[in-house]
Structure 1
Amino acid sequence: MTKAVSELNEKDAGLLITVDEASAQSDELPVLIDSFQHFVRERRDVALLLAGLPHNVSTLIDVDAISFLRRAFKHTMDQISATDTSYAIKETVEGAGRGIAAPALKVAADASEGYAFLIQLLGYHAWRQHPERETITLEDMEQAVVLARNDMYRMVLEPTVNSLSERELEFLVAMTEGEGPHRVSDIAGRMGITENNATKIRARLIEQEVIGARRRGFVDFDMPMIRDYLVDEG
């Protein structure tokens, strides 16, 4: 890689390194980040772009061996609108030579809640239902929702919940009582703690992109399906 960077820089070109599904469990990532850090110190024209699920990114940043990442610029991907979700799925399906029924698109847009990873799961499972058919039907997408939900539970929600502290989990469970948005002072009351302590827990959960602030003093779930997961798992 050092040779490649040197040759590119000699031609007034730089190198952009991209890593998808970044995780602290990767053995290769610390090696890559260490090399990148040396390039930065040498003022080489090189950039590193990592993408990953929120809980994986948070865990990765906390790893002491790659603490260099804590100085990185962190960008949070906003929710994708229903219109953009439908457009993305339709264009992808048609670009691959198939069609998709309008009701199936609506179900996908609603079920995804604008969450990029869930959109990918829905598209993947819908395509695989009857790949020999010309059109993805409503029934295909409804089955895809069930399968994508199972994947979300296993791949995203379970690891996220397991990474939380006891108090953070208590905060979320308190939020499952009634419909949101939820007043932080009410959550504190259910937990039997002061509002000041609840506010600190709130801040940590927002940082992990599990919940989000609404109007002043209120929060609600941001991560899709997590309320259902907490209720289902008891």
Structure 2
Amino acid sequence: MTLQVTNLVGGYSQIPVLKEVTFDVQNGELVGLIGLNGAGKSTTINHIIGLLTPFKGEIKINGITLNQDKNAYKKQIAYIPETPILYQELTLKEHLEMTMMAYSLDRDKAWKKANHLLSIFRLDNKLDWFPANFSKGMKQKVMIVCAFITEAPLFIIDEPFLGLDPLAVHDLLDLIDEQKQKGASVLMSTHVLDTAEKYCDRFVLLHDGTVKTEGTLPELRKALPDAGESLDDIYMSMTRADQHE
């Protein structure tokens, strides 16, 4: 098991946003983290990557907590944020080199992987460009390339399809599948439910800071037999039921 979140209570102030959140991501699995704005998806991710400290509960990656070994914990994570975060004074090449140093990667192997990814995302002739020269979609592709050269055991991907053209979305999904086949685990937050339904192995449905239900699509259908067949039907039915309580 790559990621284990147990009874997580947390947030940004003394009032908890997350309330006893528990779920896991197994080796070689893509889990969709689904929820409306404000459901707690980004808060959950920020706790996993170590930007927030839990009020209570525990987060382990391959049996290691952040407190036990910060460097070992963080090197197991490759993170692609919803909004690209790039250093304005560094070129694309320098971003890649910084990532290689941060993860202690073998430079020859890492550059071979990087050149392959740069070609896929049509960035191979832009190594000397600065972030100011990139569109939002291109910045997102830079984040994707930096994440996937690490070949980390856990990929955390927050709303990855925003700003990407259809070809890049397809390429990203292929990369995710490739890493899954190698045994990596992926936690992906997204509002694009039709894509999530097609590609995710399991789903964690967050609402108001709690896990309302989780499982494969057949398991969700069985748990909520009157909700509908699609992931969108199931989530909207559950959300509307809560609003009318």
TM-score (structure 1 length as normaliser): 0.25
**If you compute each CA radius of gyration, which structure gives the higher value, 1 or 2?**
1
TM-score where L is the length of structure 2? 0.25
Higher relative contact order (CA 8 A, sep 6+): 2
Task: Give the number of the structure whose residues are more often helix, by fraction.
Answer: 1
